[in-house]
Amino acid sequence: MSSLVREPATPSVASRLFAVTGTSGRYPPVLSALLLLPLLLLLFFSFLYPVGRMLVGSLFDPDFTLDNYVRMFVEPLYLKVLLRTLWIAFATTLCAFLLGYPVAYAMARAGGRLTLCIAACVLIPLWTSVLVRSYAWIILLQRNGILNNILTETGILEQPLRLIYTEGAVMIAMTHVLMPFMILPIYGALRTIPKELPQAAANLGAGVFAIFFKVTLPLSLPGVFAGTLMTFILALGFYVTPAMVGGPQTMMMATLIGQQTTVLFNWPFAGALATVLLVVTLVLTFIFRRVLATFGGFANV
């Protein structure tokens, strides 16, 4: 009895383009592109297209010109605002690191309900509106605010201090608002450090400070890098808190850009300011990444 032998069916073009190949579940290029298409469209219309329009608008007013960029560096006011923005962002990042690292360390090393309590103290302010938190600092720091009333009623001061509308007030308020962005990445890095490593260092005779600076801190540098970078970039472009707590005397770049667009309607110059701020941010990010990769001992950060 003869048996019929069927030739294997030739896969269609569609099956070859969209079939998952291999045992590792790899997707073909066409299907991968389709899966990434929504994200790419979102990135294009929400970031690349506005940034491109901003750059073109700052260079063509209506003809090609560099007057907007020259104006920023020729007039001392705008250069002073840029330097103040960099200084406040750096100081805020440093304060957030110095205050946030112990909190992240306590979260990583504590157990049970204490960890949940610390996490709640970190996350609940993060869920609160930035406007509300900034207004709370105005209530605390204003001339007739809570802090000045305590200092004058207890006899420590005779006259209220000028706490609001200063660079110090802006740094304090921004540190409070941005501290969760420093704490959470450091906490994630500290959680990945095996507890046996500090114990082994202690068994070998290392002290508390030696264990921290030679074991814990180097191994947590990826989290420190992520938190520092995130905090610094957010501080450079912060708008609400400096505008409310700082006022016109401590104006930062974001406030200046908002003033140029909403008050003066000078969109080309605002685009130039935003472009310069973006370039400075990218350059500082690259430099910080290279420095950390060189001195941190890991080149793939």
In sequence order, what DSSP letters do the residues of 229-251 get, joined into one string?
Answer: HHHHHHHHT--HHIIIII-GGG-
Give the global pTM.
0.81
User: Are 205 and 272 within 8 A, CB to CB?
Assistant: no
Look at residue 235 in the predicted model and tell me its pLDDT. Answer: 93
Give pLDDT, residue 56: 86
Q: Are 175 and 95 in contact (CB under 8 A)?
A: yes
Calculate helix-pair angle for 167-191, 76-109, nearest 10 degrees.
40
Report pLDDT digits (tens) over 264-294: 888 888 889 988 998 998 898 888 878 777 7
Which residues of the chain are modeled with pLDDT < 50? 1-2, 23-24, 297-301
* The pLDDT value given to residue 183: 94
The predicted structure's pLDDT at residue 34? 85
Residue closest to 228 by CA, chosen among 193, 186, 192, 172: 186
pLDDT given at position 24: 46
Cβ distance 221 to 295 under 8 Å?
no
**What is the pLDDT, as a whole number, of residue 36?**
87
Q: Which residues pair with 21 in a beta bridge?
A: 26
Query: 15 is written with which tokens?
Result: 């099956």
How far is 120 from 52, CA to CA, in rounded Å? 40
DSSP assignment of 116-172: HHHHHHHHHHHHS-HHHHHHHHHHHHSTTSHHHHHHHHTTS-SS----SSSHHHHHH
Domains of the chain: 65-296 (1.10.3720.10)
| Per-residue model confidence (pLDDT) at position 112 | 78
- C-beta of residue 254 within 8 angstroms of C-beta of residue 242: yes
Q: Which residues of 80-117 are buried (b: 16+ CB within 10 A; e: fewer)?
A: ebbebbbebbebbbebbbeebbebbbebbeeeeeeeee
